[in-house]
Amino acid sequence: MPHTAKFPLFLIPLLPFLGAAISLIFGRRMRRQSVHLVAVGSVVAACTVALIAIFGHLLGDVSLWSLRANWLMTGGEGAPRLVDAAYTWIASGSVSIPVGFVLDPLAAVMVLVVTFVGALIHIYSCGYMAGDKDYARYFGYLNLFTGAMLILVLADNLPLLFVGWEGVGLCSYLLIGFWYGKDENATAGKKAFIVNRIGDAGFLLGMLLLWAAAGTLTFSELTNPDIQAALIHKTWQLFPQAQDFTSPGKVSFLIELRPVELICVFLFVGAVGKSAQIPLYVWLPDAMAGPTPVSALIHAATMVTAGVYMVARMNMLYSLAPNILIFVAFIGAATAIFAAFIAFSQNDIKKVLAYSTVSQLGFMFAALGTGSYAAAIFHLAAHAFFKACLFMDAGVVIHALGGEQDIRAMGGLRRKLPVAHWTFLVSCLAIAGIPLFAGFFSKDMILLGTLANTFEKQAGTTMLTAGAMRTVGWILYLMLTTASMMTAFYMFRLYGLTFLGEPRTDSRVLAELHRPSSSMRWPLVVLALGATLVGVLGAPTLFAGSDGAGWLFLAGALVTAAVLVWMAFFWASDIEEEAGRDSSYVQWGLIKGPLLGAAAVMVFVGIWAAAGKSFIKIWPAAGKSFIKIWPANWLGEWLKPSLSSWPIVQVKPEFASKANPFVASHGAEAWTMALAVLLSLASIAAALWLYRKGPNQTLANLVATLRPVYKASLNKGWIDELYHLIIVRPVNFSAWLLRVAVDEFLIDKCLVTGAAWAVSVFGWISVQLQTGRVRQYIAAALVGLAVLIFLTTRSISTFDVQVSGSQVLVTAGVKGDQVLGVPEGRYRTKVGYDFNGDGKVDTWTLRPSQVVTWTYDKPGQHRIRMVVQDPRFGKKTSTEKVVTVGAGR
Amino acid sequence: MILTAIVFLPLLAALVTMLLPKEDKVLLRNFGVASTSLIFLFSLLLLWKFDGRVGGMQPSLSVNLAWLQSLGIRYQMGVDGISLFLVLLTTFLTPIAILGAGGSVTKRHREFVAAMLVLETGMLGAFVALDMVLFYVFWELMLVPMYLLIGIWGGERRIYAAIKFVIYTMVGSVLMLVAIIYLYLRFHELTGQWTFSLLEWNRMVLTPKEQLLCFGAFALSFAIKVPIFPLHTWLPDAHVEAPTPGSVILAGVLLKMGTYGILRFAMPLFPYAATKLAPYLAILGIVGIIYGALLAYAQKDAKKLIAYSSISHLGFVILGLMSLTIQGTQGAIYIMIAHGITSAGLFLGFGILYDRRHTRLMSEYGGIWKVMPTYSALYMIIMLGSVGLPGLCGFIGEFLVLLGAYDHQAFVAFQSGPVMLSHPKLMTSIAALGVIFSALYLLVMFQRIFFGPVKHEVNQDLPDATGVELGALVPLVVLVFVLGLVPSPLLRRMEPSVKLHLAQFVAKQKASEEIAKADIRKAFVLPRAVLDAAALKDPSGMKAHKMQKGKKFPELGMRRGRSARTRGTTPVDHPQGPAVNEAAGAREPSRQGRRGARGAAQPGGAPQPFNTITPMDLPRGLRLGQKRRLEQEVRYQKRPPLDPKAAQGGR
């Protein structure tokens, strides 16, 4: 049983919400400094509370010497979780949804990313938004966003998660449309919200299905083996009527679904919407209409990762649905490639980064789909650092050039904006997967995950055979490797066009370049540092575990350190060049110090890793403690309790072994890694060679050769146009048609007004009849009387025959006689029956409803005739029926 | 006493307005706001006196006095968890509506305030009345001031809209009146008691045919009021032409009258019909959700858009009610309240803009946020509440309704029917898509009015919301948050009543099923104990429902105490004499033995007094001719239908 403790976790989201409330309500009357203080302060405070929770409780006893928890190495059992239940939110019948929070390692990673990166972006925004009129509103929204995101990651049940889920969508809407004065921005915001809502509808359906199938929406209860068994075994028939079409016992996948599969699909639809995957990614590139820090925070670092987090959080369900996991993986891999393809030719600096984000999220989903939840979260955390950094660099560039976003009009900014340049370069290296930068480890973990043999073990639980699963793994690997190669290319294309070569900017703009203020520079450096060092947390077993491989790691660390030192000194020379122009701008130590520090850490960690195993031979105790302190895949181990220690149902043990996908041989690990690095380096070299001097003849020739491909990439695959054609226009048209044809014409004109018209026509006719001539009235009355008499005295008879054996029971029903209420006797309608077919009535009855019984001697067909004698007119009417009588008893 | 005071204080205030100067706008407005606010504060007493642990009508708050004794009409009113918050919503919205009248009321101020006050009495009365005549009086009383509000203070086509509104509503009410009179006679026929009391009528179990007809009459009347697609076209006209306070009250309270009526009257009185027709009504609700949303999306006129959004939201309410689950019903009531707040807010907010520009076309606005930031921010919150953003008031109800509808009990009956009917999950999924559309039309509206550049010069210097306008808007905004964040105080108070309501519904429904199964055209009246027992035995109401298939109605066992006594001893007066008695006696041992054993096993199973017939007394599988004859004989001999043995026939 995981150890659970109480902690006032509600404070973590509450603080930003309070900040938002203050900024939004009183903001217009507050001074800028106070707004800063409230906005940044609330997020920093939330971060502090989170750190206290994590380090004070979640990590157990933390000593300075060994930064580890008691349970850290063991993973699994004994993993503490912090819980908090504020109050019951919704309660109705058997539904009870508390405002409950839970902080486990998974949530802890997310909380740290959100509050830490969030705080940096808040600080950055102080500089970026300095000139804006609606300053307080901006910070209010940003705080609101942080709060919603924290609700999302801390929630202990799906509906509460949904509050954050929609909350971040709302803030995204508000912030994209922050400069609402332009219609395009407002439209982009609306588009984001609506596309997200499509996903949210899927999410809602997933929740409803889960409720219907499991009866609970709380995460910790979903690990209950009984509930999991119910989710697996019970099948829902999509179309019970269609069962006839399938042979019994063999029901096709489409007809019968296990609930868990359906639930996972619908939840994934939500994730697709929020995390901008195919086919709902279209909103994210348009979302770049918002202020750049917003793009960094919401559309790169946090909100868009919510889908990844949610799937990881629901891993106990996804692990039960391997079919769906394969689907998730392919959607992710396809998105990774497709978005990278579009990013090749985009000319807006933010659009390139946006598509890059979509692509990287695709990587994360591919990781989730192969069961490497930890790799996805690792990549998420690393991505948060380098992508936020990239966006904020882009923000510095845009800010400096007075709003210019077209990279064709940039170039040569290396010297002008050194801090942005170097941090951008570090982040590019990280995203391209250059060894020992953050992206290298996380991407490698994802690639390896596709090939890890645990993925094959799912065979048998899916539709696929073992061989097919192996093929699936290989296909995914190839797709992701291609995507990662493409990533390196387009990122360095961006880097080359923006920072290298000669300036192509208008010289006037260049002359009055807006220098980033210090509040904009500091966060960049911190993020770049993060992008460098975060990867070490998840360094795989190859580097840390095996004998001798630690030395390889040391070599890598030395190379990285060398790169960082090189950067630091080159930057220094840039600074010196700049110093002559604007000495106030120069802060020598700003980057140089941290880069040197990062280099030192790299070297230290490298030595540590290398020393670890080697020490064991010389000095076992020390060697072991070395390895303990910095184990392989530290992050993965830490996340384990959240991601795999859920007591997975034992029905199909194959799922359970998905816990640690990193059991591939070190050989495979080494060659995948080497290949990835080689391909990345090749891509970088190609990109730099092509783009280092800005647009040139070689490029023009290349584009001319690949014209159709280039066009497709430039026009984003015409997907927006396609959606417009097949979704937007039909919806608009059908709405219009409903209004004009159905509502206004059919219902209102024809039926409603028509009814009124019919009444008035009736009234008109009545008026015409009202002539005032007594003769006409009398004539009408007489006719009416005649009709009335005829109707009420008419004998309408029914004739029921029941056969039992040789016996016949006959009943007649005569209406006319009932209406008049004539007493029995002479004047009453008589009913007679002729059973033997001799033409004469055999039995007369005065009570028509009386049952008359007749027994036949011989079986066979007999003709029964009923005669009704009407006393008023002496008229006889007869009806005949043929019955078949059986033998007597 | 409290109820009487709450209901009639507005009427008193309306009389007082007659003493005030005719055209002193400010004084009249202040008087209206002050008096209705006081009534609101007074109505909070209800909340204080309300015992949230018990379901059903609160004994401490009920009124039951003689009124027209000769006809059995009583002055009977009561409040339970279902009506409590609708009463509070009414008293809350009235002062806000008067306050928000703004520039839309430019003449006859005294009459305006008086009309609003009379309207409040009508609405409150309809929510608390338990005597059907009393209810009908209040129901019709609401029409008059609303008619005047639209017809006198409305827009250009006000006469058309007002007449359409009144005629449409009248058509439905007349049918309801006929059904009420029928029930009145029927109840007398069954019990010999003349009464219009809903609580008494609730015991009456009518035959399937009667139920279907009467339910049709009631439901049509209420469906027009809701309005359910396709009876909705009066609504956009009425909303568009009504002055702001009229729209606020119309959308905020009057529409709920329809759904409340279905829940309070149509469902418990005719449970068989309600269950049989539930899937169809639910489908109409779902159609309404999507249709209303698409229609709203297609509008150019902002008020029309909001009006159609009401159709969409009330579709959710219908779906929830027809789900026949606790979550669905509670969700439906919650949506009624939340929609009361948000739609009132949307109309009120747009009224503020309308007062400045006198146009409803969205294309005439744009960029309003720039000129009226405070107002726009408040409006956005209300808009988001209406969109159903989690954490704001709109979400709770929708979520509960969808949860409930996913477990749709009524659809089970259609398991072998057409695909669409037999799949509550499929149907509810379509309803869930409504959340996409609700975002679509409201965001489009918001963008057209508030975002973008200021397109028209006139809009350049519109003043931001004044203090009075803020005073009307801010309480709504606060409630949008409060209802979204802490719904449990409301849900908690509703729950016992909803549970009881459903349990009794289920008990009656099963009794009706018995009638339908035996194919006996005979109504009867349940002893009150049965309904109480249904609630006691099965507080969730769900157990009974699950047992529905294949099992007999267990609660009817309550009657065995007496029937066991009578069967053996009382000579039965029957035309066919001993034969019938023999027949009855012949099947007695098996049945009675079984029942007797069960009865003995029941703790404290004291025999309940029981003086009415139940289907159990009737033999099954009667042959056609015999049955028909039997019925005739009953009629000819003027046999009182209450006689337990009257309908027994021999074999």
A247 — pLDDT class (breaks 50, 70, 90)? very low
* Measured CA distances, B426 to A99, A215, A234, B407 (Å): 29, 18, 18, 11
Pairing assessment for the beta strands A95-103 and A81-92 based on DSSP bridges: antiparallel
Question: Each residue of A291-328: pLDDT tens digit?
Answer: 888 888 888 888 899 999 999 988 888 877 878 888 89
Nearest to A186 among B167, B377, B447 (CB): B447
Q: What is the dihedral of CA B588, B592, B594, B598, to 10 degrees?
A: 170
Closest by CA position to A186, among listed A195, A177, A194, A196: A177
B294 three-state secondary structure: helix
Tell me which of B165, B393, B398, B436 to substitute to probe the interface with A (most A C-beta atoms closer than 10 Å). B436
pLDDT digits (tens, 9 = 90+) for A741-757: 888 888 888 888 888 89
The per-residue pLDDT of chain A, averaged, comes to 78
- Kindly tell me the burial class for residue A582, based on how many C-beta atoms sit within 10 Å of its own C-beta (0-12, 13-18, 19 or more): exposed
Q: Does the beta carbon of A743 lie under 8 angstroms from any beta carbon of chain B? A: yes
Comparing A432 with A589, the larger pLDDT belongs to A432
The DSSP H or E segment spanning A807 is: strand A807-814
C-alpha pair distances (Å), A731 with each of A459, A735, B437, B446, B535: 42, 6, 10, 19, 47
Report helix angle B302-323 to B393-406, nearest 10.
40
What per-residue confidence (pLDDT) applies to A434?
A: 84
Residues of chain B with pLDDT under 70: 407-424, 518-524, 526-651
DSSP string, A487-506: HHHHHHHHHHHHHSSS--S-
> At residue A571, does pLDDT exceed 70?
no
pTM above 0.95, yes or no: no
Asked if residues A295 and A435 have their Cβ atoms less than 8 Å apart, the reply is no
From residue A271, how far is each of A152, A162, A339, A367, B231 by CA, in Å?
13, 11, 17, 14, 39
Q: Is the pLDDT confidence value at A485 over 70?
A: yes
DSSP class of residue B608 equals P
Q: Which residues of B touch A175 (CB under 8 A)?
A: none
Which chain B residue lies closest to A183 (C-alpha atoms)? B452
The CA distance from A421 to the nearest CA of chain B, in Å, is: 35
B489 close contact with A: CB closer than 8 A: no
Tell which residue, A142, A141, A125, has the closest CA to residue A32.
A125
Query: pLDDT by residue (tens digit) across A434-456?
Result: 877 888 888 888 888 787 655 55
**pLDDT given for residue B318 in this prediction:** 92
Hey, which residues does B7 pair with through a beta bridge? none
- Tell me if residue A855 falls in helix, strand or coil: strand
Q: Specify the DSSP element, H or E, that contains B204.
A: strand B204-205
> In sequence order, which residues have a C-beta less than 8 Å from that of residue A775 and are 6 or more positions away?
none
Return the DSSP state at B194. -
Cβ count near A29 (within 10 Å): 8
Are the beta carbons of B112 and B151 closer than 8 angstroms?
no
Q: Would you say residue A798 has pLDDT above 90?
A: no
User: Contacts of residue B406 in chain A, CB cutoff 8 Å?
Assistant: 208-209, 211-212
Contact A154, A101 (CB under 8 A): yes
> Token match 């001319």: residue?
A704
Residue A578: pLDDT band with limits 50, 70, 90: low
For chain B positions 148-177, those within 8 Å of chain A (CB to CB) are 164, 167-168
pLDDT mean over A386-410? 87
Least confident of A538-547, A833-842, A846-855, B231-240: A538-547
Q: What is the 8-class DSSP label of residue B392?
A: B
Tell me what the mean pLDDT of segment A339-347 comes to.
89
Instruction: Considering only the beta carbons, identify the residue of A193, A241, A800 that sits closest to B419.
Output: A241
CA A582 – CA B574 distance, rounded (Å): 116
pLDDT at A439: 86
Whether A697 shows a pLDDT value over 60: the answer reads: yes
User: Residue A484 in 3-state DSSP?
Assistant: helix
How far apart, in whole angstroms, are the C-alpha atoms of residue A101 and residue B257?
A: 39
Give the A window 138-197 contacts with B, CB below 8 Å. 159, 162-163, 165-167, 170, 173, 177, 180-183, 185-187, 190, 193-194, 197
Give me the pLDDT at residue A555, please: 74
Q: What is the mean pLDDT of residues A488-499?
A: 90
- The one-letter amino acid at A215: G
Task: Give Cα B314 distance to the centre of its chain.
Answer: 11
Q: How far is CA A210 from the centre of its chain?
A: 16
Are B244 and B344 spatial neighbours (Cβ–Cβ below 8 Å)? no
Residue B425: its chain A contacts at CB < 8 A?
A: 208-209, 212, 236
Contact A194 B439 (CB under 8 A): yes
Nearest to B230 among A87, A747, A811 (CB): A747
Query: CA–CA distance from A535 to each of A383, A538, B353 (Å)?
Result: 10, 6, 55
Say if CB B644 and CB B563 are below 8 A apart: yes
d(CA B141, CA B126): 9
Q: d(Cα A827, Cα A793) in Å, to the nearest integer?
A: 12
DSSP-assigned beta bridge partners for residue A834: A865
Do B291 and A738 count as a contact with CB atoms less than 8 A apart?
A: yes
Amino acid at B629: R
Distance from CA of B14 to the nearest CA of A (A): 35
Q: How far apart are CA B163 and CA B241, in angstroms?
A: 12
Residues 6+ apart with CB under 8 A from A651: A228, A229, A232, A233
- Residue A250 CB coordination number (10 Å): 6
Structure tokens at B367: 């960029």
